[in-house]
Amino acid sequence: MSYQNILTQSRKHLAWIGLMCLSSLVLTPKALAVTSPISAGTPEGWWPHFESLITLAVVVAAFTTAWLLNHARPRMRTYGLLLAALCCFGIVAWFVVSLNTGIIDHPKKFQAPMDAWKPTLLWGQVIIAGICGLALLGIAQRESNSEEILDITNENETGRYGRVSRIVHWTTAILFIFMIPTGIFSSMIPEGVWFRSEYNVMHKTIGLIIFGLVVFRLIWNRKSKRPALDASLKPLEKKMAHSAHILLYVLMIAVPVTGYVMTSLHGYPAFFFLIEIPSFLEKGGAYVVWGMFHKYLLQYLVYIVLGAHVIGALKHHLIDKHKDAFKRMVL
DSSP sequence for 37-77: PPP-SPPTTPPTTHHHHHHHHHHHHHHHHHHHHT-SSHHHH
Do 277 and 328 form a contact (C-beta atoms < 8 A)? no
Cα–Cα distance between 328 and 220 in angstroms, integer?
A: 17
Helix (H) or strand (E) holding 232: none
Q: What is the percent of the chain with per-residue pLDDT over 70, rounded to a whole number?
A: 81
> Does the predicted model carry a pTM greater than 0.85?
no
- Spans of the chain below 70 pLDDT: 1-46, 317, 320-331
Residue 78's pLDDT is 92
Domain boundaries, the chain: 1-32+71-151, 155-331
| CA distances from residue 36 to 29, 39, 104, 107, 185 in whole angstroms, order as listed | 15, 9, 13, 13, 19
- Residue 169 and residue 227 in contact, taking contact as beta carbons nearer than 8 Å: no
Q: What is the pLDDT of residue 18?
A: 46
CATH architecture of 155-331: Up-down Bundle (1.20)
Q: Of 174, 209, 203, nearest to 189 (Cα)?
A: 203
270 beta partners: 277
State the DSSP H helix or E strand holding residue 275, giving kind and residue range, or none if neither: strand 275-277
Q: What is the rounded CA–CA span in Å between residue 159 and residue 182?
A: 36
Cα 221 → chain centroid: 22
Query: Which of 179, 36, 199, 23 has the alpha carbon at shortest distance from 105?
Result: 36
Determine the number of helices (DSSP H) and then strands (DSSP E) in the chain. 11, 2
